[in-house]
Amino acid sequence: MEKEKEFDMERARAYGKGQLAELYYPDSSPSWALRLLNKDIRRMPGLVEHLRQRGWRPTDRLLRRDWVQLIFDAIGPP
């Protein structure tokens, strides 16, 4: 478990939304990977609300480190 947390902390940094999507779905086209990531974010109970409480908007292209950590915590790291 500690090793898993270390991995998260290393990878949890600011990402462009498309860049993060490609990490999760490297075999998909960039636009399809982005659609899949957006779907993952919406389907996780409470994730959108937690992100919005921290200032996130669905149209944001840059994901701050704290938002990325929330995504990692909810759906797992790529």
Q: pLDDT (tens digit, 9 = 90+) per residue, 3-57?
A: 444 444 556 799 999 999 999 999 999 999 999 999 999 999 999 999 999 999 9
State the pLDDT confidence band at 63, using cuts at 50, 70 and 90: very high
Contact predicate 33/25, CB 8 Å: yes
Domain ranges of the chain: 2-75
Choose between 8 and 59: higher pLDDT: 59
Among all chains, which residue has been given the structure tokens 């797992």? Answer: 76
DSSP label at 44?
A: S
CA distance 31 to 12: 22
* The residue type at 10: E
Residue 21, classified by CB atoms within 10 Å of its CB into exposed (0-12), middle (13-18) or buried (19+), is: buried
